[in-house]
Amino acid sequence: MPKRGYHHGNLKQALIDAALELIELRGPTGFTLSEAAKQAGVTPAAVYRHFEGREDLIAEGAMQGYEIFADLMEFAYKSGQPSALKAFEATGRAYLAFARKYPGHYIAMFESGISVNRTPELASVAHRANGVLEQAADDLSQHIPADKRPPASMFSAHIWALSHGVVELFARNSPGRASPFPPEELLESGIGIYLRGLGLVDPDG
């Protein structure tokens, strides 16, 4: 692959972009800092001006991923308004769309072993992303009688887990595993079953 080159001032981003490409191709432990430097078209010594090690570089990619992810989730949530149901369903679709469009970021965020509490900045943006789904769940759960209403954090965690499972099993081209249905259909039907179970969707709908 040709060297990307860079201008003064964006070396750090060039290294992050290079790392994200390598993460997508080889996984979060499948490359060295020297390889990231080579991919970015700089000397290995240049990496250490910005990052102490590979985990720092991956964490920066994860933080940028959470920024994109939170923005997409917020856009999806707002696009479904004023319907709480449509807003909630849109956030589920946004999760799958993000994983497909930004695989390097997705892996850095969820599969690298990097804790969201590694830095206050990373924790803050991860909390913002999670907060959108939890807000959508809270809005929708207001339509459930109080004595049958699950906590919004549990509600959103269930849908996050369902979305993550569909992505991991069927939307990431896992070797030897073919999806019996399109991932979008699996996610839509799974969310629909869950919401019907809570009485939020007409059983015949």
Which CATH number is 141's domain given? 1.10.357.10
Average pLDDT value for residue range 51-77: 93
Q: Are residues 25 and 79 in the same domain?
A: no
> Range of 85's domain?
58-197
Average pLDDT value for residue range 112-136: 91
Whether 97 is covered by a domain: the verdict is yes
Q: How far apart are CA 39 and CA 15, in angstroms?
A: 8
Q: pLDDT at residue 2 above 60?
A: no
Q: Which residue has the higher pLDDT, 184 or 21?
A: 21
Average pLDDT value for residue range 39-51: 85
Model-wide pTM > 0.95: no
Q: How far apart are CA 20 and CA 59, in angstroms?
A: 11
Q: Are residues 99 and 188 in the same domain?
A: yes
pLDDT at 24: 92
% of the chain residues with pLDDT over 70? 90
When pLDDT is cut at 50, 70 and 90, the band that residue 44 belongs to is confident
Average pLDDT value for residue range 151-166: 89
Q: Are residues 20 and 120 in the same domain?
A: no
Whether 202 is covered by a domain: the verdict is no
Whether 205 is covered by a domain: the verdict is no
Whether 204 is covered by a domain: the verdict is no
Q: Please list, in sequence order, all residues whose beta carbon lies within 8 angstroms of the beta carbon of residue 122, skipping any fewer than 6 positions away.
A: 59, 62, 63, 66, 114, 116
Q: Are residues 149 and 92 in the same domain?
A: yes
Q: Which residue has the higher pLDDT, 170 or 138?
A: 138
pLDDT at 204: 54
Q: Are residues 11 and 81 in the same domain?
A: no
Q: Are residues 83 and 182 in the same domain?
A: yes
Average pLDDT value for residue range 103-130: 92
Whether 107 is covered by a domain: the verdict is yes
Q: How many domains does the chain have?
A: 2
SS3 57: helix
Q: pLDDT at residue 5 above 80?
A: no
